[in-house]
A = this chain, B = another copy of it.
Amino acid sequence: MSPKITTELLKQLRQVMKNPRYVQEPVQAYIVPSGDAHQSEYIAPCDCRRAFISGFDGSAGTAIVTEQHAAMWTDGRYFLQAAHQMDSNWTLMKMGLKDTPTQEDWLVSILPEGSKVGVDPFIIPADQWKRMSKALRSAGHDLVPVKENLINTIWTDCPQRPCKPLITLDLSYTGVSWRDKIVALRSKMAERKVMWFVVTALDEVAWLFNLRGSDVEYNPVFFAYAIIGMNTIRLFIDGDRMMDPAVREHLQLDSTLEPEFKIQVMPYGSILSELQAVGAGLSPKEKVWLSDKASYALTEAIPKAYRYLTPYTPICIAKAVKNAAETEGMRRAHIKDAVALCELFNWLEKEVPKGTVTEIVAADKAEEFRSQQKDFVELSFATISSTGPNGAIIHYKPVPETNRTLSVNEIYLLDSGAQYKDGTTDVTRTMHFGTPSAYEKECFTYVLKGHIAVSAAIFPNGTKGHLLDSFARSALWDCGLDYLHGTGHGVGSFLNVHEGPCGISYKTFADEPLEAGMIVSDEPGYYEDGSFGIRIENVVLVIPAETKYNFKNRGSLTFEPLTLVPIQTKMIDVNLLTEKECNWVNEYHQKCREVVGAELERQGRHEALRWLLRETEPVARVQ
């Protein structure tokens, strides 16, 4: 991976930062956030402005360019990748390390007195605008909205915004009709006494209307906004997708409906003017509900006194708690996914010793096996297929320049997942196709102990996920080891592989309490720069737990693994496990055998079935 040469681009950007055609007054710094106008994590090629200007294309990062400097903030997952992809024009700001300044502090430390800092108001979330604006103002600078995106002015071959056909999901997948979702939303609105709700996140629009799209790779969403009133529904969406008879039928666009369920379809680009019109027509006490992560541009459309901002929207919270149809769908999707991975690992076991399997070949093969499964739509994120030192690059994606050949001498880490019409998967397994060293086994076993500690944890109803994070690290900490990423994220139901409002992380303090029906990942790891990476990830469902006692009648919760793919026992130093942990492994593997074994049998995949049976032999501690 050679870095992108950005000298010329930065020169051009610094010119437009002073060009009166684009800015009212010159800006001394320009912020290029990661997201799009919907604050999406995964973005369409036309929105990859930060990658365009810097070369760094990880999923999280913020670039700031000043007259003298260019700096990139990203987190522990991406330190190595960003260092590889950026040229010497860029300074890497390692978030989470003690000595790394915040963006605000850095700006204050280097800007000349009374500077203007520009940003696209459609791209920056309102909460970030507020924080940054305040910090800059208190140091005598100004954060200013720059209407025209300055990256777009220098990005001559910027691709078009995608506008692909939609998929309609019936009740067997969603469990609840879009009409009932609107009814529930309006009741939440009535509870909070708000008259309008603005849906800005792409996955929230998709979930609300039981529609899916493919405008953004890996995330089955489509570019749209919605404004829900107590009696009106406005959907802002472009293209001829609304001409599709299946979509018209699904949304009942041509039926005679009660007026409060009649959807008005409007152009995507008209959201701002429509919202401004809503804002201008508000009577006193009529509030408009927005996520505090909605863009500054949309938030500003509503006069401050009329805004009702929350960190998580009622849609975000409702979407996180999966109903029976969604949970069953997720189970089916994970069984199919396990079948594909059993095929893959069986194939790798035979092929790796031949020395012909590269990281890219293995990733493609994983996709091939997944695509053979029913209702497969696409991958849920870029496959992390990494061997040896590449495994230590936490969100690595193999490209021809970095593509290593799998061998019997190196650890192989595969973090991959798919979108099926019935659910979203995300699984990481770490394998050795030869003989792992004692040290590799030791590290793997600590990670496994952390994985089990979370997966088997029992905790009271109302517990927030971040309180479980240390369980995943305890075994590593005991030996002076750790990993620089969170332990888990929410997972959508045939939706985004990362979703709020719950998660398991030492840094997420704004997470909502875990509830039965929520689905998160459990993925501790251990990484040695230049040597190897280990991660063990299951997607797990929050379920009620039976306990001996029941303090204050609160009830308890635990996790049920939805992912059912063998954990390589060859990598386990069984004597480092407690008896309880050993039993967990054996019971988990027994379930893989029963559930995935039956499906392999049904699909006539006998060789993969034999692999599964071999890999799920019980382990025992030597006393």
Residues of A within 8 A of B (CB): 98, 138, 305, 457-460, 462, 467-471, 474, 476-482, 506, 509, 545, 547-552, 554, 556, 578
Contact = CB atoms under 8 A, between A and B. Distances in A.
A551 B481 CA distance: 5
Contact of A457 (B460, B477, B551): B477
A17 B477 CA distance: 56
A568 B23 CA distance: 73
Contacts of A470: 459, 467-468, 470-471
A478 B458 contact: yes
So how many copies of this chain end up in the complex? 2
Contact of A474 (B457, B480, B545, B551): B457
Contact of A467 (B138, B457, B469, B479): B469
Contacts of A474: 457, 471
Contact of A138 (B305, B460, B556): B305
Contacts of A459: 470, 477
Nearest to A483: B551
A470 B481 CA distance: 19
A482 B467 CA distance: 14
Nearest to A481: B551
A556 B462 CA distance: 31
A556 B460 CA distance: 30
10 contacts: A458-B478, A459-B470, A459-B477, A460-B477, A460-B480, A467-B469, A470-B470, A476-B551, A479-B549, A480-B556
Contacts of A548: 479-480
Contacts of A479: 547-549
A621 B170 CA distance: 59
A480 B138 contact: no
A548 B552 CA distance: 42
A15 to B, nearest CB: 32
Given A457-B477, A477-B460, A506 B551 contact: no
Contacts of A556: 477, 480
A476 B460 CA distance: 10
Contacts of A509: 509
A480 B549 contact: yes
A302 to B, nearest CB: 13
Given A471-B470, A477-B556, A482 B547 contact: no
Nearest to A76: B552
B506 A467 contact: yes
A80 B600 CA distance: 58
Contacts of A138: 305
A566 B556 CA distance: 33
A96 to B, nearest CB: 10
A488 B470 CA distance: 17
A552 B483 CA distance: 10
A480 B553 CA distance: 9
A547 B460 contact: no
Contacts of A482: 460, 551-552, 554
A549 B458 contact: no
A177 B471 CA distance: 42
Contacts of A305: 138
A305 B137 CA distance: 10
Given A458-B478, A480-B551, 18 more contacts: A98-B462, A138-B305, A457-B474, A457-B477, A458-B480, A460-B482, A467-B470, A470-B470, A476-B551, A479-B547, A479-B548, A480-B545, A480-B547, A480-B548, A480-B556, A481-B551, A482-B551, A578-B578
Contacts of A545: 480
**Interchain residue pairs A-B with the least CB separation, the first 8:** A480-B547, A480-B549, A479-B548, A480-B550, A481-B551, A467-B470, A509-B509, A482-B551
A109 B52 CA distance: 50
Contacts of A468: 470
A457 B548 CA distance: 26
A53 B458 CA distance: 42
A414 B462 CA distance: 31
Nearest to A556: B480
A620 to B, nearest CB: 18
Q: Which of A457, A478, A547, A550 has the most CB of B within 10 A?
A: A478
A477 B506 contact: no
Contact of A478 (B481, B547, B578): B547
Contacts of A552: 482
Contacts of A476: 551
